[in-house]
A and B are shown apart, each in its own frame.
Chain A
């Protein structure tokens, strides 16, 4: 066997191995969105749709981070303002991320949707901190050198239920 032939075989083996590796890597898909200057992500399966130019109907007697109801196709959705929840700052926007949650209709007030990304599972970081704010996040991913936290949407409903019981 000549060296040239050996080289071809090794290259071919390398290509096959690469294909095999690609098949075994699992990816997670996220919707990355912004709240002011901060970026967050949601598992793509938690997002039903993105909606622009919405009227938000103020609802009395609820915590301030509930900005009201949105009317999506004749259905009421609870509008969460995460800037108010996390930073005590009101977000000025009329863009909504409609959530796909079992058992309730809720959406997030956001500045904009940045992008939809696919991240290899082994590049998804778990959150080790146990402080109050980290309870709202499932994990984090790195995007352009910055850590982006992935929101745990059902935790928002749990927080609201707790606040309403008080």
Chain B
């Protein structure tokens, strides 16, 4: 399936036809790196102060509250989740938080957030690598996974890959899908 046929691209590209660019956050890891569409992140802040709330079997990826001025946000350990899920082996510091307003999620995800006990918060924070940076890529720099796996992985939240050279592989993740299916649904 050519990339242009994948509906997920609509609305996430910018630029003139033929010159579209996809803005992604690149989370550099070893051996693979992770990319998140910029449109699936509202803002980011450095993590200065947190309060432990204790992770449990019901909430394996949420054990902290991020304190920023008067604001308190549930802080998911997305960095640990990525290491666990994608078999990443590096130990780079993760002092950056991606922030996502609750109303920017699709309704099914908001519903699960309410069930998860997050209804009172206006936004959620996700701990990621401090080395996270923004890059622009053209659609031609992305590839679908091999044919048999492509549609299945798209449903799981991994719609595309980028292989910038023969030494690296980057997974483009669909943040909303992974958050809904693999974080909010996961129970230990």
Contacts and interface: CB of A to CB of B under 8 A. Distances in A.
Contacts of A59: 86, 145, 149, 153, 158
Interface stretch (B4-12, B41-49, B114-122, B165-173): B165-173
Contacts of A62: 149, 152-153
Contact of A76 (B85, B87, B156, B161): B161
Contact of A69 (B145, B147, B156, B164): B145
Please report whether the interface of chain B is mostly helix, strand, loop or mixed according to DSSP. loop
B50 interface: no
A40 B165 CA distance: 32
Interface of B: 31-32, 85-87, 143, 145-149, 152-153, 156, 158, 161, 163-169
B32 A78 contact: no
A72 B86 CA distance: 20
B146 A104 contact: yes
Contacts of B153: 59, 61-62
Interface residues of A, number: 26
A105 B163 contact: no
B143 A78 contact: no
A75 B148 contact: no
Contacts of A69: 145-146, 161, 169
A164 B149 contact: yes
Contacts of A71: 163, 166-169
A60 B85 contact: yes
B163 A103 contact: no
Contacts of B165: 74
Contacts of B164: 74
A62 B147 CA distance: 14
Interface string A66-88: 10110111111110000000000
20 contacts: A55-B167, A57-B169, A58-B86, A59-B149, A59-B153, A60-B86, A60-B156, A60-B158, A61-B153, A69-B145, A69-B161, A71-B168, A71-B169, A74-B164, A76-B163, A78-B148, A103-B147, A104-B147, A106-B148, A157-B148
